[in-house]
Each structure stands twice: as C-alpha cells, then as structure tokens.
A and B are shown apart, each in its own frame.
Chain A
C-alpha cells in the first residue's frame, strides 16, 4: 500500500516550457487535491477533484490545468511555465473530502528558470 505517489520528484524547466505532474493514490479515495507550498505562505490549494469526473478551482488556479484521469489519478499541468511557479507541489487525497484526514504525497520540487 503505497498511499499517495507523485512523479517526478524534481524538475527544472525553462520559462515557457510545459510539463505535467502526476499523482496517484491506492487508498480508494474519492477526493484529490493539488497544493503548492512556498516559503512563508503555507500550503495553498490550486485545484481539487471531489470525485471522479469533477474538478474545481482552489485559491491559486491561474496558470494550471488539471485532469482527473480516473479514480486513482489526478494530474496537474503547467502549459507555459513561469518563474512564479517555482514551488513545491503536493498532491493529497481523502475519502470524501471535508473534515476527513487528507493524506499527502512526497511532493514535486519544481524550479522554473
């Protein structure tokens, strides 16, 4: 039981390049989330998916798109990376959202030059 897995662990991009961050969970959870973590700012929600087939914007969605591929997988895409998107990205999941515990992946460290 791996929990929440994320790939890649680390990525360097040039401004304007695109990439997709992958997330998968094996806990049969319905809800999945993408956060970014920046120094002094705490974790901020980018997008979430309450259930398979649905996605919604969070606090900081600009510059990102998401796809809930199936119940297990939730990907985050940067179409044209900007230096402001340099951050650590975490995926999380929970059974039905709300006040249930969110379980986090190990993170993807992204550097945009």
Chain B
C-alpha cells in the first residue's frame, strides 16, 4: 500500500535558522515526487517535482532532494514569509492521481 509520511508535523524556526523537512515514502514504481506549499485558506501551490534518486532542485531559499526512500526540503535562512504548510505527494506507476502526505506546518518567527 502506498504510504507517504511527513515529519515533523510542525516546526518552529527563528528567522535565519536553517532546517529540513522530511518526506519518507513507500510506493511501488515511483514516477514522481512533488512538493507543494499551502498557505492558510488557500489551495496548494506547486514548488518542485523530482523524478529520480539523486535529483535536486532549488528555488530561492528552498532546495529539494530525493533518495530511493525519502525526500528532504531544505530551507536555508528562512524568513517569516516562508511560514506555511509544506505538502509532499507521490505519483506511482499505473496511477492517475497523486498520493499526499499530511504536511509539515512551518512557522518562522521574526
């Protein structure tokens, strides 16, 4: 059975304090791993797609990496505007939809 587990559930950081969010997955035939950002009261906003182990992608203060069992979202020198819930999702072979984790709620304190 497909499983996506995100940790921690919640994370509080001081502004400038770098950290990482984890997404571990169990899926047969991974075709893609997605990271989304979700602000309160809004829909998920696409950040990255990773397709194979070893792949890395960056956008501003965010860097996503992928291994055969997990993905990390590294946040370097975060700012208060990075506060949001970060969602991880996987697409497996033969499926038409994404399977989502429950998210990590990040709070960056000025």
Residues of B that sit less than 8 Å from A by CB: 4, 31-32, 34, 36, 41-46, 49, 51, 87, 89, 91, 95-98, 100-103
A101: chain B residues within 8 A (beta carbon): 34, 46, 49
Chain A residue nearest to B36 in the complex (CB): A104
Given A31-B96, A43-B89, A50-B96, list of 11 further CB < 8 A pairs? A42-B87, A42-B103, A43-B98, A44-B100, A97-B96, A98-B32, A98-B91, A98-B96, A99-B51, A101-B34, A104-B45
A106: chain B residues within 8 A (beta carbon): 42-43
Given known A-B contacts A42-B87, A97-B96, A107 and B51 have beta carbons under 8 A apart: no
A32 to B89, CA, bound (A): 17
Chain A residue nearest to B33 in the complex (CB): A99
Interface residues on A, range: 20 to 34
B31: chain A residues within 8 A (beta carbon): 98-99
14 pairs, CB–CB < 8 Å, chain A vs chain B: A4-B43, A42-B101, A42-B103, A43-B98, A58-B97, A90-B43, A98-B31, A98-B32, A98-B96, A99-B49, A101-B49, A102-B46, A102-B98, A103-B46
Chain B residue nearest to A31 in the complex (CB): B96
Residues of A that sit less than 8 Å from B by CB: 4, 31, 33, 40-45, 48, 50, 56, 58, 90, 97-99, 101-107
A56: chain B residues within 8 A (beta carbon): 96
Contact between chains at B44 and A33 (CB < 8 Å): no
A51 to B51, CA, bound (A): 24
A97 to B4, CA, bound (A): 20
